[in-house]
Amino acid sequence: MNDRSPLAEDPHNGQTGTVHPLIDVPSLVRATRGGVTLLDVRWRLGGPPGIEAYRRGHLPGAVFIDLDHDLAAPPGPGGRHPLPGRQEFQDAMRRAGVRQDRLVVVYDDADATAAARAWWTLRYFGHERVRVLDGGYHAWVDAGRPVTNETAETEPGDFTASPGHLPLLDADGAMAVAKDGVLLDARASERYRGEMEPVDPVAGHIPGAVNAPTHGNVGVDGRFLPAGLLRERFAGLGATDAAEVGAYCGSGVTAAHEILALTIAGVPAALYAGSWSNWIADAARPVESGG
């Protein structure tokens, strides 16, 4: 992958089939002239619900999708945000107007923490034309682009979901990557070290995992760092295209952000979707603390 802007006009960036994962505001404005499905994925752990922000203002034509219900199955032993079933995800995306042959652009408030989950899930289920608005809603507003509080009306889509288009890890796979490759823990350092755990009942990390908090993937404006800087960051952690790389977090949301950053850097990586909340569901699995 070269170091020219990942937000350039050519959405394929020299690749066949899939598009580059990021898009900027000017490119999105141009893309809307040819037709694009906009998905608003604003979400915060612990609330308030993203639909409230959507109702206050969103990109014209954007449809709100709920991360907890549209991009995840109900919580349980599989984790707090296990992957949705194929049929359930397909139904949700069709309701949102997602079409098989139409570009989909997803956004959240700013740093793509939630939008990356939508990007990854759509790609995993086979949609090849998905991009994340770099800088999210705030980048759109800061550029002086219009917003609306009118709920978008959309025709049902025709997206057909088929799983398996991106690499996925279960607990055993994550353990193997931690042992023989590089397993990145995308959570904040204090959670990785086990010094605090505000969400899950057990603190610590998967033995052998390397801490790589997602805030290090973006600048202060919430936009992703250039590909070269991301490559340097991940190479310093041992994560290169020559290694087997995986990523996890608390429940598989911010880990998708890590996968997105790795993709920009040109490093293939697998997502442990169940993540820490699935790992600790089995008391027999080992837990490590400290740095």
Q: Which residue has the tokens 């608003």?
A: 40
Of 102, 128, 146, 135, the C-alpha closest to 23 is: 135
* Domain of residue 203, residue span: 168-279
User: What is the rounded distance in angstroms from the CA atom of residue 252 to the CA atom of residue 151?
Assistant: 29
Residues annotated catalytic, as ranges? 249
User: What is the rounded distance in angstroms from the CA atom of residue 6 to the CA atom of residue 1?
Assistant: 10
pLDDT along the chain (291 residues), means of 10: 38 50 98 94 91 97 97 97 98 98 96 97 98 98 97 94 98 98 98 97 98 97 97 98 98 98 98 98 97 86
39 and 78 fall within a common domain: yes
Question: Does any domain span residue 273?
Answer: yes
49 and 120 fall within a common domain: yes
Which of 142, 159, 177 terminates a domain? The answer is 142
Residue 10's pLDDT is what?
Answer: 38
> Residues 74-94: pLDDT tens digits?
999 999 999 999 999 999 999
Question: Does any domain span residue 150?
Answer: no
Question: Does any domain span residue 4?
Answer: no
Residue 18's pLDDT is what?
Answer: 59
Residue 8's pLDDT is what?
Answer: 41
Contact status, residue 270 vs residue 246, Cβ threshold 8 Å: yes
CATH number at residue 203: 3.40.250.10
Question: Does any domain span residue 239?
Answer: yes
173 and 138 fall within a common domain: no
Give the count of domains, the chain: 2
First-to-last CA distance in the chain?
32
User: What is the rounded distance in angstroms from the CA atom of residue 186 to the CA atom of residue 47?
Assistant: 20
